[in-house]
Structure 1
Amino acid sequence: MGAALPPGEPAPPDGRLPDDLAVDPATSFGAYIHVPFCRVRCGYCDFNTYTATELRGARQDAYADEVRREIALSRAVLAERGALRPAATVFFGGGTPTLLPTGDLARMLDGVRDAFGLAVGAEVTVEANPDTVTDAVAAELKASGVTRLSIGMQSAVPHVLAALDRTHDPENVRTAVAAARGAGLDVSLDLIYGAPGESLGDWRVSLETVLTLEPDHVSAYALIVEDGTKLARRIRRGELPAPDDDLQAAMYEQADDLLAAAGLSWYEVSNWARDDAHRSRHNLAYWTGADWWGYGPGAHSHVAGLRWWNVKHPAAYAERLATGASPAAARERPDDEARQLERVLLRSRISEGLPVSEVLGAGRHAVASLIADGLIEGTDAVRGRIVLTRRGRLLADAVVRALTA
């Protein structure tokens, strides 16, 4: 059921924004819709998700209407500030969004469309478990306005999937990709590397399988063992080995080599795309500080530097909305120092890099040593931007520490 929500000041029951918050209507706006339902809980997962036995009276069949209530509330809040904008991106994440009927996903998307409109060429992504994608599902998603399917492949190797407690049939990834292609949807494949027992050879099998599927986009994340998960408990008991940092680094380099050779270029530390048009515009909005409203239990939002997050449990979320109240649990307004750290942390991760002018104080003096250490590109730095080398991508946290010292 995920980690605890962060601390913060209480959010107002009506969801109103602070009177002194300056919202720029020219800033891009996106919508994230969290679907917190899963058939089973994967052993590594720390997301805010719930199986059927954990819902405590919350109803999956009522969920679309509950989200539509929050969408209506968000429209009223933003309209009051003159900050209504068409949604440039919509992202259905989870959980497993495709556990819901496609009609429910369509009604939530219609809620966004009715409240804000969708920008011309809007990117609309749905995350999916491979076992839930059929030709009919893909066609219905396309007809509703979805443009992109993000398929949770994780691995092509059965024993690696078993170590992650993933239950899907790896052969169904190919079926899901074919269904998405047949419907005219863009395809992203999501991978995890460094699972217990996964060798460099296993990882190569997964990457080579990905390349045979010719996706438009690939995300590859190193496994992180989160406190409170089943995987963390098994490692603590000695049943499974902890991830090996050196092996994960070798896996990252192997991924970058193979994906680049196949024409997929990195544009964020853990993401590669066929071309600029197939980058995840929704995730880029997070990394570049755009505005978004997160709908659903535990979802986080950001508008003009203000951040807030919803109550975690689907039952509590439904109860708030049933009374006309905002589901927001708390919020925060980071100070200038915190926002500067966040800008460096996020923008340095993308291939466009961070303007050197945004690095302050002693951090500016670290640029030369970072070039000398092979962590940032010297030519780009001379041109005024900090762009990570591949070694820098592997040591991105160290780069950020140096730039914010």
Structure 2
Amino acid sequence: MTVGIAAQDEPALAMTRGGTFGLYIHVPFCATRCGYCDFNTYTPGELGGANPEGWLAAVRQELALAAARLPDPRVDTVFVGGGTPSLLGASGLAAVLDAVRTEFELAPDAEVTTESNPESTSPEFFAAIRAAGYTRVSLGMQSAAAHVLRLLDRTHSPGRAVAAAGEAQAAGFEHVNLDLIYGTPGESDDDLRRSVDAVLDAGVDHLSAYALVVEDGTALARRVRRGEMPAVDDDVVASRYELLDGLVRDAGFEWYEVSNWSRPGGECRHNLGYWGGGQWWGAGPGAHGYVGATRWWNVKHPNAYAEQLAQGRLPITGFETLDTGDRHVETVLLGIRLRVGLPVDELTPDEQARAEGVIAEGLLVRVGERLVLTDRGRLLADGVVRSLLE
């Protein structure tokens, strides 16, 4: 069955230079499915056995087609995400980066990141991917509390993520991120304190922390619906965010995006590209891309994805062209989340007038010619955007 769009209907990609250009490569494989996850991922049982070799061959084809369609195939950042990229092993991740280098010119100071699950890494793994050219590792830690990991269906032990971070640093990685999830029912303040202490003790230079969101269609949502566990409490989530923020800032981290903190120089440049209006090509099943004023998304299922590429066609299943209004909304929506804030002159006169009201509420502050969220404003960032844009 043909799933993608016809070749003659491919979007015209009017690439512009001036900001960053990144590659996102989606690895759709996971050993097991976590109860909270709604990402485009597949276990071996769901695919009739994982096929990393077929996936890599298809990604190579997509990268070749992408480079042929871009007037300047030069890349500032690469991010291999998933799924569980570390299931490819060091040789598989090295092959991914070789495929990128074959079709694209990597900037001399390119940031090259891979996500990894702690349980599928080792000292040898980190040494090999560092030698292959990766410069940054992001590890899914979630929590240092065993009961929280069990509720989230995570399979690693509480201490494995910290140990993996140490192994990555010993292999020469200067930039290591740990991911936390907070607000899980049953998590206590002390649980979160222990998790943050573990991150700080690991000596990493970056922390991402996200409130648990119960997504429709997930195992976690079904448990909440059946009454097996309570729903996430928004007040508790806000309190935990404030607790986490205070702990890491006291330790020398600073927020640079609502859900991300780093030591100086540890910011994730690839993600800053997303938030700052940069462009990127998303390769892999279900990946999204954005070039010029066009956003598109790939066929989700790995088999359908490979089928499209075997026919010499981009695996795009839909796209949209953003008009001036759409791009303005995205500029406000994303820019307001950054610590550097949003330039006042990005707002229309009406929006600037509404901003004065948000400032009076204590949710924004003017810093020079930019608008920056206050600590309280970070808790209500989406509401601030709605207030500005109405």
TM over 0.5: yes
Q: Which residue of structure 1 lines up, in the alignment, with residue 192 of structure 2?
A: 203
Of 108, 113, 119, the residue aligned with 1:131 is: 119
Measured in 1, the distance between the counterparts of 2:371 and 2:9 equals 38
Please list every run of 5 or more consecutive structure 2 residues that lacks an aligned counterpart in the other structure. none
Q: Secondary structure at the match of 1:43?
A: coil
Superposition map of 1:310-321 within 5 A: 310-321=298-309
Of 51, 62, 70, the residue aligned with 1:59 is: 51
Of 248, 263, 281, the residue aligned with 1:293 is: 281
Of 340, 348, 355, the residue aligned with 1:360 is: 348
Measured in 2, the distance between the counterparts of 1:118 and 1:14 equals 30
Measured in 2, the distance between the counterparts of 1:23 and 1:167 equals 42
Say whether the 8 Å CA contact 1:11–1:331 is kept in structure 2.
no
Of 368, 379, 382, the residue aligned with 1:394 is: 379
Q: Which residue of structure 2 lines up, in the alignment, with residue 226 of structure 1?
A: 215
Say whether the 8 Å CA contact 1:44–1:164 is kept in structure 2.
yes
Shift of 1:241: 0.6
Measured in 1, the distance between the counterparts of 2:161 and 2:11 equals 43
Deviates more, 1:246-255 or 1:25-34: 25-34
Q: Secondary structure at the match of 1:202?
A: helix
User: TM-score normalized by structure 2?
Assistant: 0.96
Question: Structure 1 pair 294/235, CA: closer, same or farther in 2 (3 Å)?
Answer: same
Render the CA deviation track for 1:138-188: whole Å, top value 9, x for unaligned.
001001100011000000000001111111112211221121011111210
Q: Secondary structure at the match of 1:285?
A: helix
Q: Which residue of structure 1 lines up, in the alignment, with residue 389 of structure 2?
A: 404
Say whether the 8 Å CA contact 1:225–1:231 is kept in structure 2.
yes
Measured in 1, the distance between the counterparts of 2:318 and 2:276 equals 23
Say whether the 8 Å CA contact 1:297–1:311 is kept in structure 2.
yes
Q: Which residue of structure 1 lines up, in the alignment, with residue 204 of structure 2?
A: 215
Measured in 1, the distance between the counterparts of 2:375 and 2:345 equals 23
Measured in 2, the distance between the counterparts of 1:56 and 1:328 equals 24
Say whether the 8 Å CA contact 1:64–1:105 is kept in structure 2.
no
Say whether the 8 Å CA contact 2:162–2:198 is kept in structure 1.
no
User: TM-score normalized by structure 1?
Assistant: 0.92
Q: Secondary structure at the match of 2:108?
A: strand
1:187 aligns with 2:176: yes
Measured in 1, the distance between the counterparts of 2:9 and 2:20 equals 21
Q: Which residue of structure 2 lines up, in the alignment, with residue 235 of structure 1?
A: 224
Say whether the 8 Å CA contact 2:363–2:376 is kept in structure 1.
yes
Measured in 2, the distance between the counterparts of 1:47 and 1:64 equals 19
Measured in 2, the distance between the counterparts of 1:16 and 1:247 equals 46
Render the CA deviation track for 1:74-110: whole Å, top value 9, x for unaligned.
01111xxxx2242110001000000012112111111
Q: Which residue of structure 2 lines up, in the alignment, with residue 274 of structure 1?
A: 263
Question: Structure 1 pair 364/177, CA: closer, same or farther in 2 (3 Å)?
Answer: same
1:244 aligns with 2:227: no
Deviates more, 1:250-259 or 1:332-341: 332-341
Measured in 1, the distance between the counterparts of 2:382 and 2:30 equals 32
Q: Secondary structure at the match of 1:101?
A: helix
Say whether the 8 Å CA contact 2:14–2:293 is kept in structure 1.
no
Say whether the 8 Å CA contact 2:258–2:338 is kept in structure 1.
yes
Render the CA deviation track for 1:116-146: whole Å, top value 9, x for unaligned.
1111111111101111111100001001100
Say whether the 8 Å CA contact 2:14–2:291 is kept in structure 1.
no
Shift of 1:14: 6.6
Q: Secondary structure at the match of 2:140?
A: strand
1:89 aligns with 2:77: yes
Aligned length: 386
Say whether the 8 Å CA contact 2:344–2:352 is kept in structure 1.
yes
Of 13, 20, 44, the residue aligned with 2:7 is: 13
Measured in 2, the distance between the counterparts of 1:24 and 1:61 equals 33
1:149 aligns with 2:137: yes
Shift of 1:394: 0.3
Deviates more, 1:339-348 or 1:368-377: 368-377
Measured in 2, the distance between the counterparts of 1:259 and 1:13 equals 50
Measured in 1, the distance between the counterparts of 2:276 and 2:299 equals 26
Question: Structure 1 pair 57/133, CA: closer, same or farther in 2 (3 Å)?
Answer: closer
Q: Percent identity, aligned pairs only? A: 53
Measured in 2, the distance between the counterparts of 1:353 and 1:33 equals 29
Shift of 1:56: 4.7
Measured in 1, the distance between the counterparts of 2:363 and 2:6 equals 44
Deviates more, 1:360-369 or 1:242-251: 360-369
